[in-house]
Amino acid sequence: MTTLSAKIRTDRRIDLVHRRIYLTATLCLLVMLTLMAQVLHLQVVRHEHFTALSMDNQIKIVPVAPPRGRIFSSDKVLLADNRLSFSLELVPERVTDEPALLAQLSRFVAISAQDIERFRELRKRRRRFEGVPLKSHLDDEEVAVISANRHLLPGVDVVASSGRYYPLAQSLAHTVGYVGMIDAAEFEKLNKAIYRGTNHIGKAGIEKAYENLLHGSPGYEQVEVNAQGRVIRNIYRKPPEPSKDLYLTVDASLQLLAVQALNDRRGAIVALDNRSGAVLVAASTPGFDSNLFVGGIDSKVYAQLLRSKGTPLLNRTLQGTYPPGSTIKPMLALGGLQQGLRTPEATTWCPGWFSLKGSSRRYRCWKREGHGHLDAANAIFQSCDVYFYVLARDLGIDTLHDTLTDFGFGQPTGIDIGGERAGLIPSTRWKREALGQPWYPGETMSVGIGQGATLVTPMQLATATAVIANRGLQVRPYLLSEARDSVTGQSVIRAAAGPGREVVFAEPEYWDRIIHSMQEVVHGERGTARASGAGANYRFAGKTGTAQVISIAQGEEYDEDKVPEELQDHALFIAFAPVEAPEIALAVIVENGGGGSRTAAPIARELLDHYFHKKRRERHG
């Protein structure tokens, strides 16, 4: 009985063990089937998905920035070029300790607080796998030391790219302008797709005004990278769309001569093709090296430029405003003829001074003994102040204002790079609205000789001179002549002269009379600039101007030797040539240069000689 009971218990245990074995085997089989199903799902059903994810860990899409279009002068001198440049970049996703890495980098390369600030600003706008520039324009030594210590600098790359370079930076900085690093405000306005991979944008001048032509569309590269993120293979490359090369109206040889003639004095020269408005010269001195701005200008250097007595960052051709002095006398003489207040033969008596009725104040002529009886033509080429005091009184300030605005003063010329000041031609309305005061008759006397509140820019003065040369047609100045495809060289845009506006006068002969009087300024026996016209083998017309910086009290003499340089008179001169068929109109302003006939007129003659000599040389091969 005991043996039977033991046998039964043993059989039960064996059955239990068997059931457990079967259950375990079933569970294992189910697990194996599940795993096999999952493997089948991953390997077959989801194969393409995981292959793509795997490739994403190896393949990067790298934007390829388009090379920036070059800029040339009308005589095909290169003004803005692209040169191979090396920059130091950090890839954020490969940097584990940024402060430590920056400290390590500082041992090898000088990194300023400005560099770091700019890097952190750019980093916010880039994806973590994209390189962010830390320092641009590395020299050969810096490139070598970074490369030699590459193993100590995870996430750091030295990247070769195309950097902007200006061969004639000092002479054309204001006109050509410069590029600089894209800032936060600019980035928000940009088309992100077009500017991927681009760190620079036009900041001033032509570079800014024609950014849409100079910047092409980016391409991209598919590259295979290793675990450290270094490129080991190029898979595919879509080249960027080409930008445009720009050809300006500026004559480089004439521009360089203008800058040389100013000799680093504060001043400006503008020369136009009076027939079309094409700007031949736009010189503003002193200049500055625009290459300093490309990689991010050092704060100390920038502060020095801002504090400089010569204000080199000011584009005097468009933003410098000056009293025009006697250069506006031909325009006012035409206004007197147009209004019927004068005839060509009518004379005014100049005893050396003029007083308004009921006033004891004397408005003096530059010639103390006076000029005697003068008609309009004589008053212009002898630059008699009294004739124009009387004319200004008869015109009145508002008609005087309207006459000068007809010639383009007091308003932007509309030049294609913008950034110009309007200047000021005063009127009763202007003084009432700006100062809350009435206009006084004595103030009209000052405006009549280009003084007082009157302010013009050199560009306005040149375009007004072109109006006289054109006998009434006003043209809009422009700098871009042509845009060409940078790859094929084919012209894609040709600039056309802006629409002219007629300044109409009742008698066409008035233009001839005024032009003849301006010709006498330089070729006549009593002309104020006759020395500058001597020996010229072409005929030109001109007008001198001297603008006071400080006022002279009644009864006092102006002694140039006793006046500090910065308070001495500005020297001005306008001219156009040849008289019989004008091609070029110009304006010269030399700040604190003294008399226009002594300082500004000889510069104009030098430029005109060069212009016509070059034309003859080109014509005869």
Taking CA atoms, 230 is separated from 94, 159, 190, 588, in Å, by 11, 12, 30, 58
Range of 30's domain? 2-55
* 209 found inside a domain: yes
- The verdict on residue 239 lying in a domain is yes
Residue-level pLDDT at 123: 76
**Do 72 and 125 share a structural domain?**
yes
Looking at the structure of the chain, the number of domains it has is 2
93 and 204 in a common domain:
yes
Q: Which residue has the tokens 């330089």?
A: 522
Same domain, 33 and 74: no
Same domain assignment for residues 108 and 129:
yes
CA-closest candidate to residue 161, choices 125, 135, 127, 128: 135
Q: Are residues 126 and 185 in the same domain?
A: yes
Residue 563 lies in a domain: no
- Tell me which residues are annotated as active site: 326
Q: According to the model, what pLDDT value does residue 286 have?
A: 96
Give mean pLDDT, residues 174-196. Answer: 84
- In this structure, the answer to whether residues 6 and 79 fall within a common structural domain is no
pLDDT value of residue 109:
83
Residues 46, 88: one domain?
A: no
Cis amide bond preceding 578, omega within 30:
yes
Least confident of 123-137, 318-332, 420-434, 562-576: 123-137
φ, ψ dihedrals at 467, nearest 5°: -60, -45
Pick 196 or 512 by higher pLDDT.
512
Select from 203, 228, 245 the last residue of a domain: 245
* 110 and 140 co-located in one domain: yes
Does residue 70 contact residue 80 with C-beta atoms inside 8 Å?
yes
Angle at Cα 519 formed by Cα 616 and Cα 581, nearest 5°? 45
Q: Is residue 506 part of a domain?
A: no
We report the CATH number of the domain holding residue 81 as: 3.90.1310.10
Does 176 map to a domain? yes
Average pLDDT score over residue span 88-108: 80
**Judgement on whether residues 23 and 158 belong to the same structural domain of the protein:** no
Over the Cα atoms of the chain, what is R_g? Answer: 37
Q: Residue 224: inside a domain, yes or no?
A: yes
Is the torsion defined by CA of 525, 594, 283, 517 positive or negative?
negative
CA distances from 508 to 172, 310, 455, 480 (A): 39, 44, 29, 33
- Arithmetic mean of pLDDT, 225-237: 64
79 and 178 housed in the same domain:
yes
pLDDT confidence of residue 149: 81
Q: Describe the crossing of helices 329-338 and 458-469 by its angle, rounded to 10 degrees.
A: 50
In angstroms, what CA-CA distances link 100 with 95, 105, 107, 112, 142? 10, 9, 11, 15, 19
Residue 619 belongs to a domain: no
| 153 inside domain | yes
Distance in angstroms (rounded) separating the CA atoms of residues 154 and 134: 14
Which among 17, 40, 55 is the end of a domain?
Answer: 55
Give the residue from 182, 217, 245 where a domain finishes.
Answer: 245
138 lies in the same domain as 179: yes
Residues 51 and 159 in one domain: no
pLDDT for the residue numbered 450: 95
Report which DSSP code applies to 562: G
- Relative to beta strand 156-165, strand 78-90 is antiparallel
